[in-house]
Amino acid sequence: MTSTDRPWWRDAVVYQIYPRSFADANNDGTGDVQGMVERLDYLQSLGVNAVWVSPWYPSPMADGGYDVADYCDISPMFGTLDDADAFLACAHERGIRVLIDLVPNHCANTHPAFRAALSAGPGSPERSLFHFRDGSGPDGAEPPTNWGSLFGGSAWERVVGPDGPEQWYLHMFAPEQPDWNWANPAVAEFFDDVIRFWFDRGVDGLRVDVADGLAKDMDYPDTPIDPETGLGQATFYPGHPWWNRPELDAIQRHWRDIADSYAERGLGERIFVCESNVKPLDALMRFVEPGRMHTTFNFDMLWCEWEAGSLRAMIDRNLVAHAAIGAPTTWVLGNHDCTRVVTRYGKPETGKPFTLAGTPPEWLHRFAEYFYPLPTDAALGRRRARAAALLEFALPGPAYIYQGEELGLPEVEDLPDEVRDDPSFFRTNGRIAGRDGCRVPLPWSGTRSPYGFGVDAEPWLPQPAAWADLSVAAQDGDPDSTLSLYRHALAIRSAHPALGDGTLAWSDEVPGHVLYFTREPGFGCLVNLSAEPVPLPGGAQVLIASGPLEDGLVPTDTAVWLDLP
Ligand code: GLC
pLDDT digits over 324-344, tens only? 999 999 999 999 999 999 999
Pocket of ligand 1 (CB under 6 A): 63, 66, 103, 173, 209-210, 275, 336-337
Q: Which atom of ligand 1 is nearest to the CA of 103?
A: 12
The residue to mutate among 275, 336, 337, having the most atoms of ligand 1 within 8 angstroms of its beta carbon, is 337
> Residues spanned by CATH 2.60.40 within the chain?
504-563
Q: Across the chain, how many H-helices and E-strands are there?
A: 14, 20
Cα distances from 165 to residues 144, 154, 346, 525, in angstroms, run: 14, 16, 49, 62
Q: Which atom of ligand 1 is nearest to the CA of 66?
A: 12
CA of 178 to the centre of ligand 1 (A): 13
CA of 209 to the centre of ligand 1 (A): 6
Strand ranges (DSSP E) for 237-358?
271-274, 295-296, 331-332, 354-355
The residue to mutate among 173, 208, 435, having the most atoms of ligand 1 within 8 angstroms of its beta carbon, is 173
CA of 347 to the centre of ligand 1 (A): 25
The residue to mutate among 20, 53, 59, 66, having the most atoms of ligand 1 within 8 angstroms of its beta carbon, is 66
Taking domain 112-170, whether its CATH number is 3.90.400.10 is answered by: yes
DSSP H/E element including 528: strand 523-528
Its pTM stands at 0.96
Asked if 371 and 364 count as a contact pair (C-beta separation under 8 A), the reply is yes
**Phi, psi values for residue 109, rounded to 5°:** -70, -5
> 249 burial class (0-12, 13-18, 19+ CB within 10 angstroms)?
middle
> 50 burial class (0-12, 13-18, 19+ CB within 10 angstroms)?
buried
Q: Which atom of ligand 1 is nearest to the CA of 63?
A: 10
Is residue 9 classed as helix, strand or coil in its secondary structure? helix
Rounded Cα distance between 32 and 459, Å, is 12
Rounded Cα distance between 263 and 11, Å, is 18
Residue nearest to atom 2 of ligand 1 (CA): 209
Q: Which atom of ligand 1 is nearest to the CA of 67?
A: 12
Q: Which atom of ligand 1 is nearest to the CA of 435?
A: 9
Rounded Cα distance between 413 and 227, Å, is 30
Residues in the chain: 565
Rounded Cα distance between 206 and 373, Å, is 35
The residue to mutate among 106, 210, 214, having the most atoms of ligand 1 within 8 angstroms of its beta carbon, is 210
In terms of CATH architecture, what is 504-563? Answer: Sandwich (2.60)
Asked if 99 and 52 count as a contact pair (C-beta separation under 8 A), the reply is yes
Cα distances from 557 to residues 14, 25, 409, in angstroms, run: 25, 38, 18
The angle subtended at Cα 555 by Cα 48 and Cα 354, nearest 5°, is 55
Rounded Cα distance between 472 and 25, Å, is 16
Rounded Cα distance between 383 and 407, Å, is 12
CA of 296 to the centre of ligand 1 (A): 15
> Residues spanned by CATH 3.90.400.10 within the chain?
112-170
Asked if 489 and 545 count as a contact pair (C-beta separation under 8 A), the reply is no
Q: How far apart are the first and last CA of the chain?
A: 22
Cα distances from 259 to residues 91, 100, 263, 367, 558, in angstroms, run: 20, 14, 7, 38, 41
Q: Which atom of ligand 1 is nearest to the CA of 172?
A: 6
CA of 173 to the centre of ligand 1 (A): 8
The angle subtended at Cα 109 by Cα 104 and Cα 111, nearest 5°, is 65
**Phi, psi values for residue 558, rounded to 5°:** -125, 145
In terms of phi and psi (left: phi > 0; alpha: psi -120 to 50; beta: otherwise), the region of 490 is alpha
The residue to mutate among 209, 276, 278, having the most atoms of ligand 1 within 8 angstroms of its beta carbon, is 209
Q: Which atom of ligand 1 is nearest to the CA of 105?
A: 12
Q: Using only C-alpha atoms, what is the Rg of the chain?
A: 23
Residue nearest to atom 12 of ligand 1 (CA): 66
Q: Are strands 371-372 and 399-402 parallel, antiparallel or unpaired?
A: unpaired
Sequence-distant (6+) residues with CB within 8 A of 367 are none
Q: Which atom of ligand 1 is nearest to the CA of 335?
A: 8
Residues of the chain with pLDDT under 50: 357-369
Residue 372's pLDDT is 57
CA of 437 to the centre of ligand 1 (A): 15
Rounded Cα distance between 435 and 80, Å, is 27
Residue nearest to atom 7 of ligand 1 (CA): 210
> Residues spanned by CATH 3.20.20.80 within the chain?
8-102+299-482
Task: Output DSSP code: residue 373.
Answer: P
Q: Where are the alpha helices (DSSP H) in 225-274?
A: 248-264
Residue 193's pLDDT is 98
CB atoms within 10 A of CB 78: 26
Q: Which CATH number fits domain 8-102+299-482: 3.20.20.80, 3.40.630.30, 2.60.40.10, 3.30.450.80?
A: 3.20.20.80
Cα torsion at 191, 247, 279, 292 (round to 10°)? -60
Rounded Cα distance between 152 and 430, Å, is 11
CB atoms within 10 A of CB 75: 23
Distance of CA 152 to the CA centre of its chain: 21
- Please say whether the dihedral angle defined by the alpha carbons of residues 147, 152, 155 and 161, taken in this order, is positive or negative: positive
